[in-house]
Amino acid sequence: RVNRSDFMHALDEVHPAFGVSEEELQAVIQNGIIRYDSTVDELLRSGSLLVEQVRTSKKAPVVNVLLHGPPGSGKTALAAAIAQASQFPFIKLITPDNMVGMGELQKISAITKVFSDSYKSPLSVVVVDNIERLIEWSPMGARYSNAVLQALMVLTNKLPPKDRRLLVIATTSNRPILTDLGFSEFNAVMRVPPITSLPALEYVIQEAELFPGDEDRRDAIRMLKDAGFDKKSRDDPTSRLQIGIKKLLSIIEMSRQEPDGVAERLVTALMELDL
């Protein structure tokens, strides 16, 4: 017969000692991290430097970093990848996806709990994902939860207890709003850019194994060149190609649904993005 203590015991076994939910991290890095550009390596490296800073610095027991960039540019996955690579014993994600239907107070208490749990571990990473959604920012009437905002601002900067060190990785697709709301005190700010070059796009297509051979892939890239996708340089804001890795991967999946016309579907979908 299974009693309550067996059940609680089983739950303990599901959750590792301090609290790293590998499944949770894995779920947001579902499609892996594709190194399509040197910026990806640079972001991961900057992340690991911050991790080392937290691990070794006596002076800064809490370090917080903001990852910002357009929707779908890969912020959540990168934050999770940096967190995972730290191998810290406590890693937790605060994400609006886990807070659907919660009221303001419930949210604040869930957020507060993650931070107070983190203080039980000598080294921790807390990912505060998608701040504008956590505070329920709405451009209609510029409304948001000030209480959740205040809680986040306090907790991400609060000194942990003695001998406890914490890295906070926050993400947002709307940095200007955060700045307007006064949420701008981060030790580091890193931009996660969209993909804007054909070589990077080709690299992703290759990694995703969309085409069986090199020839088909090159044909597809040629079609995009002919359509003018390589017109502007990488950091030119008017670059024709502007696509988040998340969207690109979903277009790739859509394109491979049928064996025929893969390149055409890919190119058409990319052209339709173009404004």
Q: Is 136 left (phi over 0), alpha (psi -120 to 50) or beta?
A: left
Site membership for ligand ATP, residue 111 (CB under 6 A): no
Contact 111, 94 (CB under 8 A): yes
Measured CA to CA, the distance from residue 166 to residue 160 in angstroms comes to: 7
Bridge-based pairing of strands 123-128 and 165-172 is parallel
76 binds Mg ion (CB under 5 A): yes
CB of 246 vs ligand ATP, minimal distance in Å: 4
Q: Can residue 25 be called a binding residue for ligand ATP (CB under 6 A)? A: no
Distance between CA atoms of residues 76 and 34, nearest Å: 14
Q: Using the rule CB under 6 A, is 40 a contact of ligand ATP?
A: yes
Measure the CA–CA gap between 23 and 173, rounded to whole angstroms.
24
Candidates 111, 73, 64, 72; CA nearest to 92 is 111
Q: Which does 246 bind (CB under 5 to 8 A by kind): ligand ATP, Mg ion, none?
A: ligand ATP
Q: Which amino acid is at 193?
A: P
d(CA 203, CA 256): 16
Applying CB under 6 A, does 30 fall inside the site for ligand ATP?
yes
Out of ligand ATP, Mg ion, none, what residue 33 binds, judged by CB under 5 to 8 A for its kind, is ligand ATP
165 binding partner (options Mg ion, ligand ATP, none; Cβ < 5 to 8 Å by kind): none
User: Per CB under 6 A, does 194 bind ligand ATP?
Assistant: no
What mask, x for binding ligand ATP by CB under 6 A, covers residues 45 to 74? --------------------------xxxx
By rule CB under 5 A, what string of x and - marks binding of each residue 18-57 to Mg ion? ----------------------------------------
**For Mg ion, how many residues bind (rule: CB under 5 A)?**
1
**What length is written for the chain?**
275
Footprint of ligand ATP on this chain (CB under 6 A)?
Answer: 29-34, 40, 71-78, 130, 173, 245-246, 249
